[in-house]
Structure 1
């Protein structure tokens, strides 16, 4: 199927990048329904093309009816807001349509000035948008379409109260479109209250990424992970590698070790301000930095064209996060490599990932890195009598009780 077979104007189809010749499944199913002004609940994994699935109908409507503040797109993170706005703006510039990104880290007065120009599409994070709405920076009473992108993530990150307050400021008669990678019960309850007879669209992950990602998992000692990571990057001569790690402090520490080993590396996490984050990501995209170490805050917000390799330095405790991490590669029909460095302490996480993905994900050992760590038996290393002694110690109330009794 071609984009020209969808109910989109020729002007919009012509404005699409040359690489966008065939719509993805989520785009094929969503675009006609959204253009028909029906509410939509769409479940689709990252990399499925969901941004254009809702973005193209918004652009089509804005082009035909060029009035300000027609559509509002809410997303959970600054990075995703920037990514969505860039994707829409690239096409909008050929259609005389304006889109605006509103997120933290940017001067609020500048954003107010941009709002005064009356863009047709606003892409925003909940916190910054709520600030601007409460300050009467713009009139949201004309919003005809609300899009909640990565709704599950907004719920997980605790943004739903802000989302609800924003919705209360919007017209009750509007179209609402919800996109989510997962559909847990709490979100299902929110959707029922928010959507009006929505069309339910679901694209299975296996259909999106079938054989597109080569997943390899290595069992290694916890203390060997840094050396394994350095050796893998140097051995394969990878020029662009995205490494995921759990915490900000660990990201900075690992970044220093890789730079010391001669690898051009930068870290990206929530402690950096928006300008630094954007500058760092651009250096990575422009191949001025070879290795980017990121925390899970950015797992869904990073989009790099033709990213070849993703490495999990640590497995995430949430199996859905694993899916989103490796989904940074093999996007838009491309192929990619995902490597995970697993130690014995992460086997429970791996079991959950296998259960969620329904894939075997066998563990391999690396030559030169014998596994000497022992799996936990679940038993305490302390002898039972030591535990009893510790309890007796905790029960003593005064220093006299700790002094040995004199022999009679």
Structure 2
């Protein structure tokens, strides 16, 4: 199938990058439904081409409407500013080909600059929930005439606690809008929430639910918790010429690991929420230019990292939330490339591993890593300390002076 067969705007198709030749599976299945103005709930793996899956029909539909209409027509809501930037970079050249103005609204940028974007009458807005809601409350924009709401990475929007903000944003939108939801995983909780804001959605599921792409080769190594840094160094030595994205769960741990790798002579940088916006942008740019070989990122900041041929992803630790694993490994093997996803697992992460196995339906066997024998013992599950007397703790906390701690005299 060709893009022209999907009945998209011809000017728009001419503006596509030369590397985009034929529509991906998700694009083939989703675009006709969107052009037919149906609500769509799409299960789309990261790297499957979902940005064009919703972006191309959205822009085609806006271009075909009344060109004199200067109101906002489409709102794309995403969980992080990095993802907002990535979508804007992908769609802006296409929008310009149709003389459609876009605005990006997210935190970390002076809100006055974003008010100036809104003064230019954009027809498409790409936004994070918090900043969009703030501008709505200031009456800086009007969504009463919009026709399309797109929720990208909807599972992360819910996981990150944005559902209340989204509900408040939707109150400013017409009920007659078209709603499109894209997610890499689909838990029951997410499905219920999406069904509450959609009208008889068409469910598009090109692959098994909550699945990992077939072109990702997964290796999981059982190592001692205290050996993980040295194990990571050994893995990096095995891939000296490749770019590697390392996931870690805590910001402090990301900085500490970066220092250790720097001392080992590795060109490495950390990306997490404590970094200012300028540093984030420069770090991402350096990584994409391969000035940095290893990028250590937390889950929050990794949403906007798109390296089309990123060969290796390493989980320094497993995420407690199983769907995040699917997102993490989906950073590799994008756009039809193959990729390698490696996870370092210690005994304390057994519960997290079982949750990932249950979600993905994959066996994910643990292997031994050469040179790193496992000497740690699995947890027995028994509490190391006797249970605390919580009532006694509360009674102690309520005492205000040393006299109150003295034993009461016995009666009789």
Structure 2 length as normaliser, TM-score? 0.90
Tell me the residue number matched to 1:373: 376
Deviation, 1:191, is 2.3
The answer to whether structure 1 residue 302 and structure 2 residue 298 are counterparts is: no
CA distance in structure 2 between the aligned counterparts of 1:11 and 1:190, rounded to whole angstroms: 37
Equivalent runs, 1:171-190 vs 2, <5 Å: 171-190=174-193
Alpha-carbon distance between aligned partners in 1 of 2:51 and 2:110, rounded to the nearest angstrom: 26
Could you report, residue by residue, the CA deviation over 1:312-340 in whole angstroms, capped at 9, with x for unpaired residues? 00011122111110000001111111111
Shift of 1:303: 1.4
Q: Does 1:311 align with 2:314?
A: yes
Aligned length, in residue pairs: 396
Q: Residues 15-30 of structure 1 correspond to what in structure 2 (within 5 A)?
A: 15-30=15-30
The residue aligned with 2:292 is: 289
Change (3 A) 1:388 1:287: closer
How far does residue 205 in structure 1 lie from its aligned partner after superposition? 4.6
| 1:343 counterpart (346, 364, 368) | 346
Q: Find out whether 1:86 has 2:97 as its counterpart.
A: no
CA change 1:364–1:289 in 2 (3 A) is same
Superposed CA offset, 1:23-65 (max 9, x none): 1121111111111222112222222211111110111123333
Aligned partners of 2:361 and 2:298: how far apart in 1?
25
CA distance in 2, matches of 1:190, 1:345: 33
Give 2:264's aligned residue: 261
Q: CA deviation at 1:381?
A: 5.3
The partner residue of 1:242 within 240, 245, 253 is: 245
Does the C-alpha gap of structure 1 residues 293 and 207 become closer, same or farther in structure 2, counting only changes over 3 Å?
closer
1:38 match: 38
Q: Structure 1 CA distance, aligned partners of 2:347 and 2:204?
A: 39
> Unpaired runs of 5+ in structure 2?
397-403
- Could you tell me which residue of structure 2 aligns to residue 406 of structure 1? none
**Helix, strand or coil: the match of 2:99?**
coil
Note the 1:193-208 alignment, pairs <5 A. 193-205=196-208
Alignment partner, residue 400 of structure 2: none
Q: Distance in 2 between matches of 1:83 and 1:355?
A: 31
- The within-5 A match list for 1:352-391 is 352-380=355-383
Among 139, 158, 166, the alignment partner of 2:161 is: 158
Separation of aligned partners in 2, 1:122 and 1:356: 33
Secondary structure of residue in 2 paired with 1:93: helix
Q: Distance in 2 between matches of 1:150 and 1:80?
A: 9
Gaps of 5+ in 1: 402-408
How far did residue 190 of structure 1 move? 2.3
**Does the Cα contact within 8 Å between 1:116 and 1:138 map onto a contact in 2?**
no
Q: Please tell me whether residue 10 in structure 1 is matched to residue 6 in structure 2.
A: no
Does residue 1:138 correspond to 2:145, yes or no?
A: no
Aligned-residue offset at 1:87: 1.1
Higher mean C-alpha deviation, range 101-110 or range 134-143: 134-143
Residue 110 (1) aligns with residue 137 (2): no
Q: Is the 8 A contact 2:216 2:333 kept in 1?
A: yes
Q: What is the CA RMSD across the aligned residues, in angstroms? A: 2.5
Contact 1:46 1:300 in 2 (8 A): no
Contact residue 76 and residue 126 of structure 2 kept, 8 A: yes
CA drift of 1:192 comes to 2.6
Residue number in structure 2 paired with 1:224: 227
Tell me if structure 2 keeps the 8 A contact 1:31–1:57. Answer: yes
Deviations 1:75-115 (A, max 9, x none): 11111111111111132233322222110011111111111
> Is the deviation greater in 305-314 or in 370-379?
370-379
C-alpha distance in structure 1 between counterparts of 2:387 and 2:150, whole Å: 59
2:317–2:345 CA contact under 8 A, matched in 1: yes
Measured in 2, the distance between the counterparts of 1:266 and 1:74 equals: 28
Aligned to 1:122, what secondary structure does the other structure show?
strand
SS in 2 for 1:86: helix
CA distance in structure 1 between the aligned counterparts of 2:249 and 2:388, rounded to whole angstroms: 37
Partner of 2:401: none
Contact 1:152–1:183 (Cα < 8 Å) also in 2: yes
Q: Secondary structure of 2:353's partner?
A: helix
CA deviation after TM superposition for structure 1 residue 146, in Å: 1.1
Deviates more, 1:9-18 or 1:92-101: 92-101
